[in-house]
Chains A and B, each alone.
Chain A
Amino acid sequence: MDLRLDGVSHRYDALPVLEEVNLTARDGEILAIIGPSGCGKSTLLQLAGGLIQPSGGTVTMAGAVPPDCLNPITYVFQDFALLPWRTVAGNVALALEHHPLPRRELRDRVADALSRLGLSEFADALPRQLSGGMRQRVGIARALVVNPAVLLLDEPMSALDAQTRELLIDDFRWVWLQQKTTALYVTHNLAEALRLADRVAVFSRRPGRLREVVAVPIPQAERNQSGARLELAKIQDALWSLIRDEASAADREMAHV
């Protein structure tokens, strides 16, 4: 399913955050969003998910909804957003409980989502008993359990240490390859974006404008190969040259706030 932003602008009171964004996440692709701090990446994701209303422009979806889809757009949050009083299975079930599902189907869906993320044996654990990486797996399982058409990921790896991030990126890619859900993936990390994305949308500093969309012409399954890494490094250099000056200026702006 396509997710399309047409002329989307947003401002918080007098502060313009995003200006005239025209961008489409195509069916079955991961579209990474990168840009300097404060450029409106997370705002863009909230606009795309209908959590805030744009000051201007429209957000639309087009295409066929996947079978058994209970919620067309779901989120994976930077801070995991898990309910500490619920078990792992209970957190995943939260996304289903308000749907009129037979109890057995609810259980099966939760078990399937946990299994896909390697969480089956932690179903009864509480979030505080899990590492950061495992908590984010729960967040991803919760987002996938409704079989969404579009997945919105808001810096999902940024709270994790480098090793955990490496492992989770590989696991996320493997899970994503099973269904190829359309995904908007916000990140600060260029290498992470290039490990996962089919295309990378580069934003300017605030107010965020779409500067360029860079394709990553290497199949997902080959991204870990040594030949591909060289190619990815070149693209990463090109991306960095696009945002370096903007990031530096944004950093100086933040220092004066």
Chain B
Amino acid sequence: MSETGASEPGGGRLPVPFRGGGFVLRPHRIAGAAGLLALIALWQVGSTRGWISALMAPAPSEVLAALGVLASDGTLVIHLSASLGRIGLGWTLGTAAGLAAGLAMGMFSLARAAGLPVVSALFPIPKIALLPLLILWFGIGEPSKVATIALGTFFPTAIATFSAVDGVPRSLIRMAQSFGVPAPRIVWSIVLPGALPGILAGFRITASIALILVVAAEMIGAEFGIGAFILQSGNLMRTDQLLAGVVVLSILGLLVAALLSWAERVLLRWR
């Protein structure tokens, strides 16, 4: 069916202009990689032509070569494993405690009333500022570094978990109560899955914080670790090795982000 015979007042016809373009984000995977490659290429050209000082910023090819040497002679493994051990232990301890505190504050009025002001007051303190104190308490060895990372991850995890639990719709909890679901099962079946997106978002933040803190702590007092290695390389004016260490940190950050993205894809498939 078609409708015809409509009058044309004034004679001519005017096309309706299209006004709906733009404001739509589309993925451009190639553009992202191309931007990074272009920057590296520019850096390489600048170094090769002598526009950039080899001491201040050695060419990417030299950084890559230094990285190869560090990987092959075992130096990288020694420093990387030291850093990963500290991050793993500190992050796990801080996250476990933060999850427990956040869940308690999210679910129990007394824990919220007592805990939230304390957490909110201590959260803004830069945790690296506490390292000297922690060294006094625990000595210059591993415990002070692990404690710094644990403290740094505890507070954001506690706050993210508390907010996530608080954001679980009460209607879902009421629904479960109306079916007589026992409280522990409500926590397991509703509160935890409902809070998971917020908790995982918190993990993204704490993973970055753990990386920053381990480097800072290792620069202050460690023989081994990526932070210590970067500092030693700087002291020896080995900027190629220094930047190789920075590249390792960057790759580490990307790997952690990829791991968390994968966890989100698997655990939050329902979104």
Contacts and interface: CB of A to CB of B under 8 A. Distances in A.
> Is A bound to B?
yes
Interface of A: 49, 51, 71, 73-75, 77, 79, 81, 83-86, 94-95, 97-98, 126, 128, 142, 146
B177 A51 contact: yes
Contacts of B185: 97-98
Nearest to B176: A94
A75 B178 contact: yes
Interface string B144-180: 0000000000000000000000000101101111111
B193 A49 contact: no
B270 A128 contact: yes
Interface string B114-152: 000000000000000000000000000000000000000
Given A81-B171, A83-B194, A85-B194, 4 more contacts: A75-B179, A81-B169, A84-B270, A97-B181
A51 B176 CA distance: 11
Contacts of A94: 176, 179, 181, 189
Q: Return the 10 tightest CB-CB contacts between A and B, nearest first.
A: A81-B175, A85-B270, A75-B178, A95-B179, A85-B193, A81-B171, A98-B181, A126-B270, A71-B180, A84-B270
A212 B55 CA distance: 91
Interface string B76-120: 000000000000000000000000000000000000000000000
Interface in B255-271: 268, 270-271
B174 to A, nearest CB: 6
B38 to A, nearest CB: 40
B182 interface: yes
B190 interface: yes
A71 B176 CA distance: 12
Interface residues of B, number: 20
Query: Which DSSP category, helix, strand, loop or mixed, fits chain A's interface?
Result: loop
Contacts of B189: 83, 94, 97
Q: Which of B174, B182, B194 has the most C-beta atoms of chain A within 10 angstroms of its own C-beta?
A: B174
25 contacts: A51-B174, A51-B177, A51-B178, A71-B180, A73-B178, A74-B178, A74-B179, A75-B175, A75-B178, A75-B179, A77-B175, A81-B172, A81-B175, A83-B189, A85-B194, A85-B268, A86-B270, A94-B189, A95-B179, A97-B181, A97-B185, A98-B185, A126-B270, A128-B270, A146-B179
Nearest to B171: A81
A51 B268 CA distance: 30
Contact of B182 (A73, A98, A128, A142): A98
Contacts of A51: 174, 177-178
B196 to A, nearest CB: 8
A71 B185 CA distance: 17
A77 B169 CA distance: 13
Contact of A83 (B177, B178, B193, B271): B193
Q: Which of B178, B189, B193 has the most C-beta atoms of chain A within 10 angstroms of its own C-beta?
A: B178
Contacts of A83: 172, 189-190, 193-194
Contact of A98 (B172, B178, B180, B271): B180
Contacts of A85: 193-194, 268, 270
A74 B270 CA distance: 26
Nearest to A75: B178
B267 to A, nearest CB: 9
A146 B270 CA distance: 26
A155 B151 CA distance: 48
Contacts of B182: 98
A132 to B, nearest CB: 16
Contacts of A84: 270-271
A129 to B, nearest CB: 10
A77 B271 contact: no
Contact of B179 (A71, A86, A128): A71
Q: Which of B176, B179, B189, B268 has the most C-beta atoms of chain A within 10 angstroms of its own C-beta?
A: B179
A142 B193 CA distance: 19
B176 to A, nearest CB: 7
B188 to A, nearest CB: 10
A75 B180 CA distance: 11
A65 to B, nearest CB: 14
Contacts of B176: 94
Q: Which of A95, A98, A128 has the most C-beta atoms of chain B within 10 angstroms of its own C-beta?
A: A98
Contacts of B172: 81, 83
Contacts of A49: 178
Contacts of A128: 270-271
A49 B176 CA distance: 12
Contacts of B174: 51, 81
B173 to A, nearest CB: 9
Nearest to B186: A98
B87 to A, nearest CB: 30
